[in-house]
Amino acid sequence: MLIQGVDFPEALYWAQSDGGLVVLTGAGVLNPPPSSLPLFAGLAAKIGESSAVDKREGEPDDRYLGSLKAVGVHVHEPAARILINEQTKPNALHRDLIKLFPSAERLRLVTTNFDLVTIHKRNLGSFSL
């Protein structure tokens, strides 16, 4: 089904129109400004930048964080300071995601995010976009 030049699967169109659409999101939603939160690789790099432990070439980010923790770096506190941050604001993608749903009561959004935009703005009535 072609809508404004974009070819959408018909099942997606009907799910959106009958309230059955569920959107799954992750950290990529919070990356664009003004949210500007880092993706996982950037988060790991920020946590590790004040340590003496360098990330090895090809080392997965989760293992690097494990290496930091193994030498006594507190990884959870810096992660919380970076991600739970009052300066983080909703971005255009937040607005566009909400527009997919006809009302707050029909919003069906599943996310892995745990930032203040996601946690404290659950009530769309107070989510000033």
Domain positions in the chain are: 11-124
| CA angle (62, 57, 46) in 5-degree steps | 50
Dump pLDDT digits (tens) for 45-103.
999 998 999 999 999 999 999 999 999 999 999 998 888 877 888 889 888 888 888 88
- Give the Cα separation of 113 and 88 in Å (integer): 13
Residue 127's pLDDT is: 44
- Give the Cα separation of 100 and 97 in Å (integer): 5
Residue 115's pLDDT is: 62
CB 6 within 8 A of CB 90: no
- Give the Cα separation of 101 and 108 in Å (integer): 8
Residue 125's pLDDT is: 44
Q: Note the pTM of the prediction, 2 decimals.
A: 0.71
Q: What share of the chain is helix, strand, coil (3-state, %, to 5)?
A: 45, 10, 45
